[in-house]
Amino acid sequence: MVEVRATGPALLAYGSTEPRRHCKVSYSGLVDSWLVFWVALFTALATGLGALPVLFLKRSDPRWRGIASATASGMMLSASVFALADEALGRGDAIEVVAGMLSGALFFSWTSRKIDEREWTFQGWSSRSSKQAILLLLTLFVHSIPEGAAIGVGYATGEIKFGWLLAVAIAVHNIPEGTAVSLPLRANGASVARCIWYSILTSMPQPIVAVPAFLLVSVFQPLLAASLGFAGGAMIFLVIQELLPESFEHSSPTEAAWGVTVGLVGMLGFIAAIGL
């Protein structure tokens, strides 16, 4: 057993900042590195479930492509503000969070320019659709890093039930993120299998980061606030630069407005329902 003395608020729940000054960390028995890895892998695989609604999306009608982009925009804006930024503010001060969000926006502005310069495309896709998909996948891939760290830090308390409940909350949270990934991909012609694969891929940092975070809790915990802010800023930038313009191009302003509203409110209700 190793005693960890926390110098600031320690993670007690995904969304809680109640201080915990002393906690026991166990690296053997029920709470070990392999358990953390498999549980975090489960949360990543749950993202694939979010791709299932695209079975009902009509690919041939450009109007549905615009509505899908608008709905994904609303979901991502809601997740950025009401989950990521709110969670980040609970784990650090406003300066850390604002710096993280601006860094995320700047990073993806730079990434967007690089994609334009190198003309990276998916086979059979236009350059615009390819750029949007790459930015979307990269944004949510980065967003999964602090979630993986949260799982590892949660298990580092040594309480297996707490770690499991935290992982289940993140797994459930991953499902609508899979939907947000899949809607624009499907609208651009991706197969359902491809939507499921890319959805899961965006969450693969979770099992990769969870184990180091479990073993090095004192290193990862202070980085959570800025990392969550980074992911939130990146998603806001992506929505405004890529998804909303496409929505207005393929659907009417009223349809786009309803898509954003339904996506934002739906994601907000989901976040509130699972207590994030």
Put simply, whether the predicted model's pTM sits higher than 0.85 gets the answer no
How big is the CA angle at 74 (ends 15 and 90), to the nearest 5 degrees? 20
Mean pLDDT rounded to a whole number for the chain: 76
Query: How many residues in the chain?
Result: 276
Residues 144-166: pLDDT tens digits?
887 787 788 777 766 677 667 66
pLDDT of residue 20: 42
SS3 77: helix
SS3 23: strand
> DSSP H helical segments within the chain, as ranges?
33-46, 62-78, 86-91, 94-118, 127-155, 160-187, 192-202, 205-215, 217-220, 224-238, 244-250, 253-273
Residues 179-201: pLDDT tens digits?
878 877 887 777 888 889 989 99
Domain segments of the chain as ranges:
31-273
Q: Phi and psi at residue 84, in whole multiples of 5°?
A: -70, -55
pLDDT of residue 11: 41
User: Is the pLDDT at 23 greater than 50, yes or no?
Assistant: no
Closest CA to 140 of 107, 115, 177: 177
Q: What is the C-alpha separation between 27 and 31, in angstroms, rounded? A: 6
Amino acid letter, residue 155 = Y
